[in-house]
């Protein structure tokens, strides 16, 4: 019987097959964690630093370690960061208040998604710890996580458009220039 025939018949082919299974399982774990980490990481860091790059958002996630379990705290920190950034472009108090309300709404909508993301991660770890990997279950988890990421990023796009609508063209250009200066 050839090796392919043995595999098709479901027979064990010895130590070589076991090493191959372990290696394949290792790749599955790595790819699953990478994929879910990318999507899920986006969700958790969005709630923590609203996707900021450089300037007002630089380093915020480091200061928030362990504090992102409270939506009010995240909202407060985002509003502090926003006040700092908007102060650099001479935003009015009314603009600041409108943007603060937008940021609070984003946190209210996205922060609760962390629990769902964490549940997906627990499901993934449980599935990967089983003796037999069920591709259908992994696909269900992946699909759910992608749907969650889609929901979060769509909400962020809405907030970005709303914030852009509060600022005038010159203020937006100044912010873009500042972000580009501090981009890594």
pTM of the model: 0.61
E strand or H helix that includes residue 35: helix 15-49
Residue 169 lies in domain: 13-181
Is residue 1 domain-resident? no
Does the structure show a pLDDT above 80 at 155? yes
Condensed to tens digits (0 to 9), the pLDDT of residues 118-130 reads: 999 999 999 999 9
Is residue 107 domain-resident? yes
Condensed to tens digits (0 to 9), the pLDDT of residues 53-100 reads: 333 334 444 444 444 568 888 888 888 888 888 888 999 999 999 999
Is residue 3 domain-resident? no
Is residue 4 domain-resident? no
Mean pLDDT of the chain: 74
Domain count, the chain: 1
DSSP H helical segments within 50-134, as ranges?
Answer: 60-63, 71-87, 93-110, 113-128
Interatomic CA distance for residues 60 and 49, integer angstroms? 6
The answer to whether the CB of 131 falls within 8 A of the CB of 26 is no
3-state class percentages of the chain: helix first, strand second, coil last, to nearest 5 = 80, 0, 20
The full length of the chain comes to 184
Copy the structure tokens of residue 70. 């409270």
Is residue 7 domain-resident? no
Is residue 5 domain-resident? no
Is residue 31 domain-resident? yes
Is residue 97 domain-resident? yes
């Amino acid at each position: 019987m050839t090796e392919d025939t043995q595999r098709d018949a479901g027979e064990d082919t010895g130590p070589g097959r076991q090493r191959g299974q372990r290696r394949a399982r290792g790749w599955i774990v790595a790819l699953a964690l990478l994929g879910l980490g990318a999507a899920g990481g986006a969700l958790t860091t969005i709630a923590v630093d609203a996707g900021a790059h450089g300037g007002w958002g630089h380093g915020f996630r480091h200061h928030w370690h362990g504090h992102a379990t409270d939506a009010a705290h995240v909202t407060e920190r985002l509003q502090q960061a926003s006040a700092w950034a908007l102060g650099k472009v001479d935003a009015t108090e009314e603009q600041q208040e409108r943007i603060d309300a937008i940021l609070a709404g984003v946190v209210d909508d996205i922060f609760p998604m962390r629990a769902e993301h964490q549940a997906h991660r627990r499901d993934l770890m449980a599935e990967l710890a089983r003796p037999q990997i069920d591709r259908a279950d992994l696909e269900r988890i992946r699909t759910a996580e992608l749907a969650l990421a889609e929901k979060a990023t769509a909400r962020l796009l809405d907030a970005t458009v709303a914030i852009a609508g509060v600022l005038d063209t010159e203020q937006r250009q100044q912010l873009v220039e500042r972000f580009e200066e501090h981009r890594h």
